Amino acid sequence: MPLLTLQALGGVASCRTLEAHGVTPAAIAAAVRRGDVLRVRQGWLALPRADRDVVAAVRVGGHLTCTSVLAKHDIWCERDERLHVRTRPTAQHLGSPIDRSRSLAPRHPVVVHRTGRLALPTAAIDDLPSAVAVAMTCQNRFNAIATLDCLLNKRIMSTAQLHEVLAPMPASARGYLALTDAGSQSGLETKARLSFRGRGITVRTQVHISGVGRVDMLIGDRLVIEVDGYRWHSSRSAFAEDRRRDLELARQGYLVIRLTYDQVMFGWAAVEEVVLAHLRRREHLWAVRHRRAGFGTD
């Protein structure tokens, strides 16, 4: 009985929750003695093969949250190997994520979120809306907006739902919603879009071009920006399709700049330099010679 109930609750649960589901204290004690379940913290139990991050968060004394939850949902967020745990604002005696008999120490890769803006869950892991709300105050601006873009693009949440989720959060976090674009298909696109617009460069996203399909961004009439995250462009067929699109764009007179993950994340100054040079030479616009050649007439 304790095993089946614990499995149904995600593998980690409090004794109070188990008892609320009809599991008696005697049955819990017997399951612990047999080794069927483990005590991970006072009043909390886990199956031996339960999610390690969730178990670690309970050992610390809280609930898994923020990017530690978003990553499990395959939602774009900051790359962070640290464990994100949400506790009560006044929580004390936090424990080690690997040993419940020891205290949490600075050497442990744990980020503790002490927020009174959100109700604490009864489960060992935050629901997605709560994790999103916490992540808005934890990530930098680019990644926070990329998270929102991802939620909108995948239709996991609507704009109205996100307004409700972020209502308890600081004004700075709520303000990110005005900068979202549901057409953005990756955090790289989000960062590139925001960076261009931060320099006053007008960018249109997910523009349809005949014979090509949608391009990530279009500046002016003809400067196409394509952003390639390795994960989405690593297969031979994807590589071939990208080159077919590039050739077709060139045939139609478009300029194409294809950017890698590293260029967007770590080499943006060089990207800006190249794009601004094109703009100064007005190469992003159809010139008279292009019109005469029949370009830009669709």
Residue after which a domain boundary falls, among 132, 160, 179: 179
19 belongs to a structural domain: yes
The answer to whether residues 66 and 30 belong to one domain is no
What is the C-alpha to C-alpha distance for residues 160 and 151, in angstroms, rounded to an integer?
12
H or E stretch including 38? strand 38-41
Domain match, 32 and 76 both: no
- Residue 23 in any domain: the answer is yes
Could you please report the per-residue DSSP string of 73-120?
A: GT-------SEEEEE-TT--S-B-SS-TTSB--TTS-EEEEE-SSSPP
Residues 236 and 272 in one domain: yes
Does one domain contain both 194 and 172?
no
- Indicate whether 250 belongs to any domain: yes
37 falls within a domain: yes
Q: Is residue 298 part of a domain?
A: no
Token pair 């992003």 is at which residue?
Answer: 284
Helix (H) or strand (E) holding 245: helix 236-251
Residue 186, judged by CB atoms within 10 A of its CB (0-12, 13-18, 19+), counts as buried
Burial class (CB in 10 A: 0-12, 13-18, 19+), 192: buried
Residue 39 and residue 83 in one domain: no
Rounded Cα–Cα distance for residues 31 and 37 (Å): 6
The answer to whether position 273 is within a domain reads yes
297 within some domain: no
> Could you tell me if 171 and 191 lie in one domain?
no
Are residue 65 and residue 172 in the same domain, yes or no? yes
> Can you give the pLDDT at residue 256?
96
- Same domain? For 198 and 255 the reply is yes
User: Where does a domain end: 179, 212, 245?
Assistant: 179
Question: In 62-90, which positions are buried (b, 16+ CB within 10 angstroms) versus exposed (e)?
Answer: bbbbbbbbbbeeebbbbebeebbbbbeee
With CA atoms as reference, report the closest residue to 296 among 200, 287, 128, 188: 287
Beta strands at 213-219 and 204-209: parallel, antiparallel or unpaired:
antiparallel
Domain around 248? 187-292
- Same domain, residue pair 66 and 123: yes
The residue out of 158, 179, 200 marking a domain boundary is 179
- What is the full per-residue pLDDT of the chain (298 aa) written as tens digits? 678 889 998 999 999 999 999 999 999 999 999 999 999 999 999 999 999 999 999 999 999 999 999 999 999 999 889 999 999 998 888 999 998 889 999 999 999 999 888 888 889 999 999 999 999 999 999 999 999 999 999 999 999 999 999 999 999 999 999 999 999 989 999 999 999 999 999 999 999 999 999 999 999 999 999 998 655 445 778 888 888 999 999 999 999 999 999 999 999 999 999 999 999 999 999 998 988 888 987 6
Same domain, 220 and 275: yes
The whole-number pLDDT of residue 228 equals 84
- CATH code of 214's domain: 3.40.960.10
Residues 213 and 281 in one domain: yes
- Is 115 within the bounds of a domain? yes
User: In total, how many domains does the chain have?
Assistant: 3
What is the three-class DSSP state of 19? helix
In a shared domain, residues 80 and 166 = yes
Write out the two tokens for 143.
Answer: 């990644």
